Structure 1
Amino acid sequence: MQAVAAEFNISETCYLTRITNSTSPNTRFRHRWFTPVAGVNLCGHATLASAHTLFTTGLVNSNIIEFDTLSGILTAKKVPDVCPTNVSEVQNGGVSDHFLIELNFPTVPVTDFNSAEASLISKALNDAPLIDVKRTTTADDIFVVLQSGKSVIEMEPRFDDILKCPGRGLIVSGAAPPDSEFDFISRFFCPKYGINEASPRGGIVKIHLDEQNHRVLLRGKAVMVMEGSVLV
């Protein structure tokens, strides 16, 4: 699986295997993710793409899919889109079915970051002023807050310096402009795993935090751009 992911050389390659036994529903799948250089425990992009493929190709006859993963059981639910894709987007290969996919993921706790290493982070982000820095406890990513979403968009990272930073990768976020329709803007850099940036094309995610159950619900869309066969 890792060799195939290396051949694809994209941010994440995922694999699905349907679980079929007397105790599992027909909509449960084993799910694994790989970057070009290593396996990872969780990936939202590839999970969204997997659910989209299963829903739109008729491989499941249900509005809910369960994924058995290294991060536990994750669910994907098909929900109505109150603001469907416009006609021109559909005609140009956009999402033709008016639905969103809601992913149910675990929240990731954060801890304080060693301030002595903050200069490494600032240098890696091209000397951007840092408002706050935390460290995630599971994936060991560094979560950085900049002064604005505009700063996040315009920031030009130094990937050689990111390689010298502690942790796996850098999550960079900042508040969106007050007159925009968004709350914040984020980017993710992970050159140690062969992914300079996991989100260069951009996308919109609707988020609901379930603090009581320590879960986060992510709603978004995917578009199928290619299909084919792999010879192994």
Structure 2
Amino acid sequence: MRILVVDAFADRPFAGNPAGVCLLDAPADAAWMRRVAAEMKHSETAFVRPVDEPGADFELRWFTPMVEVALCGHATMGAAHALYDTGTAPADRPIRFRTLESGVLTVTPDRDGGLAMDFPSCPPEPVAPPAELAGALGAEIGWTGRNVQNDLLVELADEKAVRALAPDLAALARIDGRGVIVTARAADGGTGGPGGYDFVSRFFAARILLGDGEDPVTGSAHCALAPFWAERLGRDALTGYQASERGGRVRAALRGDRVVISGTAVTVLDGTLRV
């Protein structure tokens, strides 16, 4: 079967966030999909198969090398890009993905040559920060919240603090949650000025990711970041920059209880899975 690697939220190879995309012809066993994801070693591998249903075109599931997850933005973008790039899906139509826990997700080509994903909004609710959080991050923390994905969102003082983080990942892994999103207003004050973005973020998920536990660019985190910053900046259309080593820009537009997350993607590998 065909398997690809797509760099999502990237305008060139080896940037953004790489995702494996496996194009299935029939249902597959969950344990087998996890083994394939472990072989790929990317933060997420998407498994896509066509379905004959009134409300969906494909089934979509996401696996890290360790677990299945309920929602993944960059691997959804990777899956849609792969379907369009290989001619599996018509280039002029939206793709409707049926998922196990996140409902139907629609991806549409946008006017800028990218892809726009319609995701649920997951605004964080304020919580008291866990006692170990500041020490694990190695930073002075500000506002702290938690969303329905069980992510902690932590606001830091400024962009410099976000970029300089070198957290204790073993300590972060002991804190309850899928992961920790850290964020701050862009250095220009969040006006969408010379930097071209309104806020910065990083995402750490040592419980579910291999390697250094940091996800390069996290679409699902922007389901929380978009409503958080829309309220503070007074605008529903925002651009975020995820300041990992690879880095990537994410456009996000709040639409009621949905978030439209947009970006571009590049195929870097297209091959055959023989197992």
Give 3-state SS (helix, strand or coil) of 1:10's partner: coil
Among 198, 201, 208, the alignment partner of 2:215 is 198
More strand by share: 2
Aligned to 2:271: 228
Is structure 2 residue 98 aligned with structure 1 residue 68?
Answer: yes
Among 170, 174, 191, the alignment partner of 1:164 is 174
Aligned equivalents of 1:14 and 1:143: distance in 2? 25
Aligned equivalents of 1:135 and 1:191: distance in 2? 17
Aligned to 1:207: 252
Aligned equivalents of 2:177 and 2:94: distance in 1? 34
Pairing of 1:43-82 with structure 2 (within 5 A): 43-61=72-90, 62-70=92-100, 71-81=102-112
Aligned equivalents of 1:158 and 1:202: distance in 2? 21
Among 50, 62, 69, the alignment partner of 1:18 is 50
1:155 partner amino acid: L
1:14 partner amino acid: A
1:64 partner amino acid: P
Q: 1:24 to 1:163 in 2, by over 3 A?
A: closer
Aligned to 2:144: 133
2:86 partner amino acid: T
Is structure 2 residue 211 aligned with structure 1 residue 182?
Answer: no
State the TM-score, normalized to the length of structure 1.
Answer: 0.84
1:149 partner amino acid: E
1:194 partner amino acid: L
For these two proteins, the number of residue pairs brought into alignment is 206
Is structure 2 residue 34 aligned with structure 1 residue 2?
Answer: yes
* 1:101-126 per-position Cα deviation (integer Å, ceiling 9, x unaligned): 000000113222234x2x31111112
Give 3-state SS (helix, strand or coil) of 1:224's partner: strand
Aligned equivalents of 1:169 and 1:193: distance in 2? 8
C-alpha contact 2:55 2:96 (8 A) present in aligned 1: no
Q: 1:72 to 1:24 in 2, by over 3 A?
A: closer
Displacement after TM superposition at 1:24 (Å): 5.5
Runs of 4+ deviating beyond 4 Å: none
Higher relative contact order (CA 8 A, sep 6+): 2
Aligned equivalents of 1:202 and 1:182: distance in 2? 12
2:144 partner amino acid: V
What stretches of structure 2 of length at least 5 have no aligned partner? 1-32, 189-193, 217-243
State the TM-score, normalized to the length of structure 2.
Answer: 0.72
2:135 partner amino acid: K
Aligned equivalents of 2:119 and 2:55: distance in 1? 20
C-alpha contact 1:136 1:142 (8 A) present in aligned 2: yes
Give 3-state SS (helix, strand or coil) of 1:42's partner: coil
Displacement after TM superposition at 1:154 (Å): 1.4
Give 3-state SS (helix, strand or coil) of 1:226's partner: strand
Pairing of 1:35-114 with structure 2 (within 5 A): 35-61=64-90, 62-70=92-100, 71-81=102-112, 99-114=113-128
C-alpha contact 2:126 2:143 (8 A) present in aligned 1: no
C-alpha contact 1:150 1:176 (8 A) present in aligned 2: no
Give 3-state SS (helix, strand or coil) of 1:45's partner: helix
Aligned equivalents of 1:101 and 1:165: distance in 2? 34
Aligned to 1:150: 160
